[in-house]
Amino acid sequence: MSHGDHSRDPCPYVILNDFGGAFAMGAIGGGIWHGIKGARNSPRGERFVGSMSAIKARAPVLGGNFGVWGGLFSTFDCAVKGYRQKEDPWNAIISGFLTGGSLALRAGPRSAFGSAVGCGILLGVFEGVGVLMNRMFAQPIPQMQLPEQAPASPSPAVA
Amino acid sequence: MSFLSGMFGGSSEPIEKEPSASAELFNSTTFRSNVQPSSSSSSSASSSSSSSIPQPPIDQPAVPTQTAPTALDAFGTAFDPARLHPLAGLSENLELLQLDEDKLNDIEGSASVLPSRGWTDDLCVGTGTTYLSGLLIGGMWGAKEGLSRPLGNNPSMKLRINSILNGCTRRGSFTGNSLGVLAIFYNLANSSLDSIRGRHDTYNVLGAAALSGAIFKSTAGVRPALVGASIMTAAAGAWSAFKNTV
């Protein structure tokens, strides 16, 4: 964490990666979700057709929503990182605020501000949970050198 | 990094001497990879023989350089399995935390503009690029449509901007979503073909393009699916030819 993330591309290129990752996640997850939903909502005998049409109609839209959100978030994240020259949880909160605000911009400034605050709070909760998890799992490191605490080591790897 | 040290400390617990455990561990592994124990024993034998036979100017500089590896090597071989075991068990988990150049895609012929770390990276970057370009193209299309839409006589600026933005969001999201889904199909097919055939070449690209075009138009019937497959194949062939000439 202190050295940043070596498993990802450097900043301008990671935007493409995040766009694609978010879009693929939304589209594939939306395909599964709307496939099941469409099959459940169609009459017996037309379940496959209903599932297919629901997937075709809704999965790309959901993917697009996810993709725009993730890509915009990543863009703002890179911009905030470049401006502040730091990496801390505030980056994600600020970029979540900006993302929510700019996505709701057409609904008026009041609605945009509300959405921005909502997104910022959501990202703040995510980051807070991440920091808490990090602190919880990072605490027992000096004692983990002891042989008795070997089973504690797999749980940070999962997190 | 804290996870790394935690896992490292947790799994290297069979070693008794804690403070210098990691340093000695790395030393022993590097020396083992460089110097074979047979050569070290022969060198020690040669050093003992050279001490009996006086050949100082050639062998004497060689003896001190060899003594440090041989001593550590003899020390390391005694503890060898216990020392090597935690590293051997960690070798997959270490890459997860710090994968830079060594985890790159090693299927031959698959080098591209950005270095790739496997099929998920390919999928993400390819889909992202295609989706973003689809958004841009569709957005420009929609902007042109919104600019030229008749809005009655004497439309205000706000109305015009609203029309442009409506066109952008309608056309842009439609084009971007379609191209993005197509890119997901293409990248999945491409990576599957890569891993099946074990290499990446133009036939792979063409096959993946045909497959993705057919899947994309598969719900419209057989004929549109074939048309879609041929269009995608032609596009991929043109792109490959363009890439080969450049």
**How large is the angle between the packed helices A47-84 and B157-197, nearest 10 degrees?**
100
pLDDT at B78: 52
Asked whether residue A2 is domain-assigned, the answer is: no
Break chain B into its structural domains and give their ranges: 119-181, 201-245
Q: Are residues A78 and A93 in the same domain?
A: no
Q: Judge: A20–B125 Cβ closer than 8 Å, yes or no.
A: yes
Q: Are residues A114 and A76 in the same domain?
A: no
Q: How many CB pairs under 8 A join A and B?
A: 122
Mean pLDDT taken over chain A: 82
Distance CA B169, CA B159 (A): 15
* Chain position carrying tokens 């896992």: B7
pLDDT at B136: 92
CA distance A139 to chain B (A): 9
Q: Judge: A27–B184 Cβ closer than 8 Å, yes or no.
A: yes
Chain A residues lying within 8 Å of B178, measured CB to CB = 60
Mean pLDDT of the region A63-91: 89
Asked whether residue A42 is domain-assigned, the answer is: yes
Please report the ipTM that was assigned to this predicted complex. 0.73
Domain that holds residue A40: 9-86
- Hey, is A141 helix, strand or coil? coil
Q: Tens digit of pLDDT for each residue in B198-214?
A: 777 778 888 888 888 88
pLDDT at A139: 65
Q: What confidence category does residue A85 fall into, taking pLDDT thresholds of 50, 70 and 90? A: confident
CA distance A105 to chain B (A): 12
Q: Are residues A99 and A66 in the same domain?
A: no
Residue B182 has pLDDT above 60, yes or no: yes
Sorted by sequence, the CB contacts under 8 Å of residue B41 that are 6+ apart come out as B70
Distance CA A158, CA A31 (A): 27
Domain boundary pick from A69, A86, A103? A86
Q: Are residues A81 and A107 in the same domain?
A: no
pLDDT at A36: 92
pLDDT at B16: 44
Number of folded domains in chain A? 2
CA distance A69 to chain B (A): 12
CA distance A157 to chain B (A): 7
Q: Are residues A94 and A111 in the same domain?
A: yes
pLDDT at B42: 43
Chain A residues lying within 8 Å of B129, measured CB to CB = 16, 20
Chain A residues lying within 8 Å of B219, measured CB to CB = 52, 56
**What number of other Cβ atoms are within 10 A of residue B116's Cβ?**
21
Q: Is B224 on the interface with A (CB under 8 A)?
A: no
